[in-house]
Amino acid sequence: MAEISSERRDKVAVITVHDPDRRNALTPALSEQLAAAVAEAEADTGVHAVIVTGTPAPGVGGGPGKGQAGARADGEGGGLST
């Protein structure tokens, strides 16, 4: 099961997703947890920015489905393959 933690570093809220078994894929349940963490950060008037990251690297991926494709910013393919 995914774990979400959040901490405040000065004026920045850092939200970390930890679900190594699914490589931090955004499932419906995780999306709800993430939305709640963002809403909590948004309600804090001292927070000026939010960073969403994941452990272990590479961070937070896309959905859990197979066959999803994506492109890197430089246009060189990338993404997931089956």
Mean pLDDT by 10 residues, the chain (82 residues): 89 92 86 94 96 76 51 45 37
Q: Are 44 and 82 in contact (CB under 8 A)?
A: no
User: What pLDDT does residue 24 have?
Assistant: 84
Q: Are 26 and 62 in contact (CB under 8 A)?
A: yes
What tokens does 16 get? 């970390």
Nearest Cα to 22, choosing from 60, 70, 48, 50?
60
Angle at 46 between CA 40 and CA 51, to 5 degrees: 60
Q: Are 66 and 81 in contact (CB under 8 A)?
A: no
